[in-house]
Structures are given as structure tokens and as C-alpha cells.
Amino acid sequence: MSAILRFIVLIPHRDSGRLLWEYRRQLFAAGFEGAYSFPGVAPVAVVSQAFTKGELQGVARTLRALSVQGGRGGKIAIQDLGSLTYSPSSPSGESLYTLTMFGPFLDVPSPEFSHPRVRYRFPRLLLVAGLIKTEAAERLMQEALPQSSAWFFRAGMVANMLFRPLSSGAPGYSFEWHIGTPVWLPSYRARP
């Protein structure tokens, strides 16, 4: 595996994305260095190759179905703040770098995958507000961070995303990414 990662990501509608952008701005103003080091998306899985449009549509249908379960009414709401860590490795098993993503967890469960290209499925969906140093994750959770306001979204998209570290800039915070053509989650229709 190279230093480039391929993700399947959930992207909230831009109206909700503005709320995350405002929260990231508050974090950066409070001295949170990695507030803009990762896009405002929720990683669903790491994959070996990009998913096709049809495969993305399948993920979108699954996420919509999960957003309806448990009386959610098609809503995907943010929850408490937390972190998730992922460490890609080389073919020899050597860790290339570690990503510790920080932000609010989402209330929908992570969708199940049984696809040969899925290398890793995230155990929970986390809307990334930024990256943090792994060793600082526990301490950060105990600090008086700006709290994100409570919000939810119904409209969202699923897309492929390429992500790679830059050779220059602050180590652990300097990355670039490209998000592919997104596929909308099916519209929600309340049953009478």
C-alpha cells in the first residue's frame, strides 16, 4: 500500500457542511492546529480501488436505510465528540503514518461491507473536524474545547476520496485530497 489512501466518504449537504465549517473555524481560533487538515466528511471505509457509481449508490442506499432505523426519520445527527485512528501500512507491514481524526460521531451505525476492495471499515462514523496527534487524543477529549452545536442532516452524498501526505509543510497536518463525483443518498419519504 502506498502513502495514498482511498476512502469511501459520507458528505453532509452543504447547508449542514457550513455548520461544520464554522465549528472548524472556532477550533482553529482556539489553537487547534489540524482543523483544516482533513475535509469535512465522515470516512466510511478505506478501499484498494475507487468504487464505481453503482457501488457508491449501493452504499448510499444502505446509509439511507440506516438513517430510517430506530425512528430517526431519515436524519443523521451528530453526537458526542471523539476520535478514530487509522494507520496505513506498507506491503512489508511497516506503518507509513497515523491519522487520528477528531470530531462529532454520527448517530447512524457504520454500514456493513463484504466487498473484496474494502481494506478497512471504520467502526463508527465520525464527521471529521480535524486531525490531532495520536498521543494527544485522550488529553484533548478532556480539555475545554468549543462544543459543536447540535444539528442533523437528511441530505448527503457518498463519494470516493483520494488522500495523501504532502512532502512539505507541518508533519502530521499537511495533506491533500481529491473527492470524486458524489452520489446522493436516496431522498427520504415519510411513510403515512
Model confidence pLDDT, tens digit, residues 100-144: 898 889 999 999 878 899 999 999 999 998 888 766 656 655 554
Q: Rounded CA gap, 81 and 94, in Å? A: 30
Cell of 59: 452504499
CA triplet 164, 180, 184: central angle to 5 degrees? 135
DSSP 119: E
Distance of alpha carbon 28 from the chain centroid:
18
Q: What is the mean pLDDT of residues 43-67?
A: 96
User: Chain-wide mean pLDDT for the chain?
Assistant: 83
8 Å CB contact between 125 and 41: no
- Predicted structure pTM score: 0.85
Give the end-to-end CA distance of the chain in Å, rounded to a whole number.
49
The pLDDT value recorded for residue 1 is 40
Judge whether residue 50 has pLDDT over 60. Answer: yes
Supply the DSSP string of 175-187, one letter for each residue: EEEEE---EEPPP
